[in-house]
Amino acid sequence: MTVDKKLTGTELIIALAGRLDTTTAPQLEAELKANLPGVEHLVLDFAALDYLSSAGLRVLLAAQKQMNKQGDMVVRSVNETIAEIFEVTGFSDILTIE
Amino acid sequence: MKSKNKRISQSFLRWLLVLVSVAFLATTVFLWIIQTRLSEENAISLLALNLSDVREDVSDASDENLLKLTHHVADDLNRMKTIDNAVLQELVNRYDITEINVINEEGIIFATTHPDFMGYDMRNGEQSAEFIGLFYGSTEYVQDYRPTTYDPSLFRKYAGVRLQRGGFVQVGYGAERFQQDIDEFVVGVTRNRHVGSGGCIIIVDEAWNIVSDRMGNEGKNLDVTGLWIDTSSMPENKVFVADVYGQSCYCMYQSVEGYCIVAVMPRSEAALSRNVSVGVTTAMQIMVFAALFIMVFMLVKRLVVNNIYQINDSLSAITEGKLDTVVNVRSHVEFDELSNDINSTVDTLKRYIADAAARIDAELAFAKAIQHSAMPSVFPPYPGRKEFDIHAAMFTAKEVGGDFYDFYFVDEDTLAFLIADVSGKGIPAAMFMMQSKALLKSCAESGMSVEAVFTTANAKLCEGNEAGMFVTAWMGLLNVKTGQLTFANAGHNPPLLRRADGSFEYLKSRAGFVLAGMEGIRYRKNELQLNPGDQIYLYTDGVTEATDAAQTLYGEQRLLDLLNAHHGACAKAICEAVKADVDTFVGEAEQFDDITMLCLNYAGSCVHEEVDA
C-alpha cells in the first residue's frame, strides 16, 4: 500500500493505493497519528484503494472519532467493493462518503 | 548500515602509516648524519692522501736534485789531493750551492764554507748525527729541509756522500736555492692532480707566494685564492674550512722542503656524495616500507578483517532469526574462541526462547481450550429437540481468535443464535471476544428483544474501549415452535437463507453499525418467518476472504454455488463441505483470518438424522 499525503493549511488529503489490511493498517495509523494534530479537514481519497479489511476499518473508525473532536472527515472516491463493505458493516452511517 | 565509526582496516592503516613514517624519518635522519660524517671523513682522507702524495713527489724531487749535486762535489773532491776551505768555497760558487762541509773519519768537520762549523763534531746534534750512518755501510744520505742542530734558526737541506779517502762530504742548500732547482717540477705537480673531481692542490713557498696552482696564479700571494693560513694556530694535517676561489672548501696543509702544500676540496662535492647516497637509500627505503605496508595491510585484512566480516555475516543471519546458524571461523585461536563463545551464547538464547515459546505455547493452548469451551461444542446440542438441527465450527488462524458463534435458549421456545467477528486477531481479539460474548448472552438471557440486546451491549462495550476494538455481529431469536425469527445485524456479513423449495440467497437487510464502534447507536429489528425445510447459514469473512497463493479471494459467489450444490444436507454436512472446499481453494497458502460458520436447519428436515433414524 502507498500513502500519498498533501497538507494545505489545516486540510490534509491522504490518497491510499493498494490494500488496506492487517499488514498495512499500522502504516496508515502511524501516518495519521503523526499528521492529524492541527488538521481540521481530513480527506481520505480511496480512488486507488483495492481492498479494505476490518483492521483498516478500525483505523478509519479511530480517525473518524479523532476528527469528530477537531473538525470533519470525508472519504472520497470509494469504489463499489469498498462501498459494499461500508454498507455491510454500517460504516456508511458514520462516515461522510462523497 | 552506515556508521560514523572507522573500519578496523582504516585505523590500522592510519597507525601503520604513522609508525612507518616515523621509522622512515628516523632512519633517514640517522642515515643523513652518518653519511655526512662519512663524506667528511672521506674528504679528509682524500685530502690527506693527496697531500702525502705531493709531499712525497716534492721531497723525492729535491732529494734527487741535491744528491746529484753532492755526487758531483764528491767526485771533484775525490780527484783533489788536499781539501781546504778555499777549495770548498770554489766548489760552492761553481755549483751555486749554499754550504759544503767535509767530515773526517772521526766525524769532525775539518773543512767548511761556514766559518762557525769548523771542528764541529757531527755526533753532537740529532740532525747532524743522522749522517754518522755513512760510516756504517751506506754511501749516500739525504735529509729533508729542517733546522740545523748548531743553529736552530738556520734551515738547511743536507745530503752526504762518502769520500774515497774516508770521511764524507756534506752539501747543504738553503730553501731559496733548492727551490730554484725544483720549482719547475713543483709547478708540474699540481697541474694534473685533482682532489676528488673539483678539488685541487696549491703549493706556496715560505713567503706565501704561490708556486703552483691550477688557476695559473703563480707568483701571486696566497690571498688571491681566499685562503689564509696561520701556522701557529692551525696545525698541519688538520682539516679546516675556508672559502677558496669563492667556494666553501675542506682544506688541509702540510709543510715540506720549505713549501706549504694545501689540498682543497669543495664541501659541495662531499655533500654531493652524501646526497646521492642518502637519496638512493631513501628511495630504496620507500620501496621497502611501501612493500611492508602493503604486505602488513593485506595480512591484517586477510587474517583479521575478513574473519570479522565472516563472523558478522553469521551474526546478521542469527539476528535475522536464523538461530541455527553456526559461527565457524577456526583460523586462529582467538577467532576459534570467539566462534565458540557466540555459538554457546546463541545456544543459551535458543534454549531460553524454546523455554519461553514452550511456556507461551502451553498458555496459548490453555487459552484456546478456554475459548473453545466457552462456545457450545457438543453436537447435536439438543438431542431431544426435533424442531431444528444446528451445527457450528470455528477454525482460528492463530491459537486464539476473535471470531465466535453462540446459541442458547433464552426461554423455553426461543433459541438465540449468533455469529460475530472482532476486529483483529490473536490474544487482544480473543479477550474482547470473550467480553462481547458474555455481554450479549447476559443481555439476551435477560429477555430483551434482539435490537435491545445490541443497543445495550454496544453501550457497555464502548465504555473503556481504549484499544478502539469493535465487533461485527449477527444475532437471531427463533421461536422454534412458530418459526418466527427476529434478527439484528451489527455490521456483519449477511447470512444465506434457503427456503425449503428454493436455493440459497443472501439475506440482505439494512445493517447497523459495528458493536463497540461508537456510542449511542440504535439497532433495528428485522423479522422473518421460517418454514419447515428452511435453512440458514451464518459465516464470518474468514470464509469469503480466504485467499489462495495467487491472492484470489474465495468470494461470495463461490460460497453460494457450493451451498447450493449441497441441497438438503444437514447442518453438520454443510459446515464440513464449506471448510473442505475452502481448504482445497487455499491450498498451501497460509490461513490469515479466523474461519467461523453456523448452520441451522429448521423443523427436522435433516437428511443426516433421517439416515441415522
Q: Which amino acid is at B297?
A: F
What's the CA gap between A17 and A74, in Å, rounded? Answer: 17
Note the pLDDT tens digit of each residue in A11-61: 999 999 998 887 888 899 999 989 888 899 999 999 999 888 888 888 999
State which residue of chain A sits closest to B495, comparing Cα positions: A88
Q: Which amino acid is at B525?
A: K
Q: Which amino acid is at A19?
A: R
Whether residue B512 and residue A58 make contact (CB cut-off 8 A), yes or no, is no
- Give the pLDDT of residue B14: 84
- Distances from the Cα of B4 to the Cαs of B1, B7, B18, B309, in angstroms? 10, 9, 22, 18
Q: How far is B489 from chain A (nearest CA, A)?
A: 9
Grid look-up 767535509 returns B102
Contacts of A62 in chain B (CB under 8 A): 468
Give the three-class secondary structure for B159.
Answer: strand
Chain B touched by A84 (CB under 8 Å): no
Residue of B610, B451, B593 whose CA lies nearest to B525: B451
Whether residue B514 and residue A89 make contact (CB cut-off 8 A), yes or no, is yes
Phi, psi (deg, nearest 5) at residue B270? -65, -45
Q: Which amino acid is at B357?
A: A
ipTM above 0.90, yes or no: no
- Give the pLDDT of residue B28: 87
Nearest-by-Cβ selection for B468 from A53, A58, A93:
A58
Q: In what order do the strands lie in the sheet with B259-266?
A: B210-212, B200-204, B259-266, B247-256, B240-244
Max distance between CA atoms of chain B, in angstroms, equals 193
Is residue B156 within 8 A of residue B174, CB to CB? The reply is yes
State which residue of chain A sits closest to B519, comparing Cα positions: A65
Cα B179–chain centre separation: 77
Whether residue A22 and residue B424 make contact (CB cut-off 8 A), yes or no, is yes
Question: For chain B, where do the domains classified as CATH 3.60.40.10 start and end?
Answer: 374-612
- Give the pLDDT of residue A75: 94
- Give the pLDDT of residue A45: 94
State which residue of chain B sits closest to A65, comparing Cα positions: B518
Contacts of A93 in chain B (CB under 8 A): 512-513, 521
Q: What is the DSSP string of B557-570?
A: HHHHHHHHHTTT--
Residue of B564, B540, B552 whose CA lies nearest to B589: B552
State which residue of chain B sits closest to A86, comparing Cα positions: B491
SS3 letters across B132-158: HHHHCCCCEEECCCEECCCCCCCEEEE
A residues 8-67 closer than 8 Å to B (CB): 22, 53-55, 57-58, 61-62, 65
State which residue of chain B sits closest to A89, comparing Cα positions: B491
Contacts of B469 in chain A (CB under 8 A): 58
Give the total number of structural domains in chain A.
1
- Give the pLDDT of residue B175: 72
- Run of H or E including B52: helix B8-79
Whether residue B513 and residue A53 make contact (CB cut-off 8 A), yes or no, is no
What is the average pLDDT value for chain B, to the nearest integer? 87
Q: Would you say domain B374-612 falls under CATH 1.10.3720.10?
A: no
Residues in chain B where the model's pLDDT stays below 70: 1-4, 604-613
CATH code of the domain containing A29? 3.30.750.24
Whether residue B491 and residue A89 make contact (CB cut-off 8 A), yes or no, is yes
H helices of B374-396, in order, are none
Nearest-by-Cβ selection for B513 from A54, A55, A90:
A90
Contacts of B489 in chain A (CB under 8 A): 90
- Give the pLDDT of residue B607: 39
State which residue of chain B sits closest to A91, comparing Cα positions: B513
Range of A75's domain? 2-94
Q: Is the four-CA dihedral B369, B375, B380, B382 of positive or negative sign? A: positive
- Give the pLDDT of residue B356: 93
Q: HSE-up of B432 (CA within 13 Å, CB side)? A: 29
Where does B1-305 sit in CATH, by number? 3.30.450.20
Give the three-class secondary structure for B572.
Answer: helix
With a cut of 60, say whether residue A86 has pLDDT above it.
yes
Which residues are CB-neighbours of B400 under 8 A, at least 6 positions away?
B364, B367, B368, B371, B426, B427, B429, B430
Q: How far is B537 from chain A (nearest CA, A)?
A: 17
Interface probe, candidates B398, B425, B470, B592, chain A, greatest A C-beta count within 10 A: B470
Question: For chain B, where do the domains classified as CATH 3.30.450.20 start and end?
Answer: 1-305
Q: How far is A1 from chain B (nearest CA, A)?
A: 15
B237 torsion bin: left (phi>0), alpha (psi -120 to 50), beta (else) = left
What's the CA gap between A81 and A84, in Å, rounded? Answer: 5
- Give the pLDDT of residue B608: 42
Whether residue A89 and residue B421 make contact (CB cut-off 8 A), yes or no, is no
- Give the pLDDT of residue B550: 86
What's the CA gap between B139 and B383, in Å, rounded? Answer: 164
Count of pairs with CB atoms under 8 A, one residue in A, one in B: 57
Whether residue A87 and residue B511 make contact (CB cut-off 8 A), yes or no, is yes
Number of Cβ within a 10 Å radius of residue B89: 14
- Give the pLDDT of residue B4: 65
Interface probe, candidates A19, A32, A50, A54, chain B, greatest B C-beta count within 10 A: A54
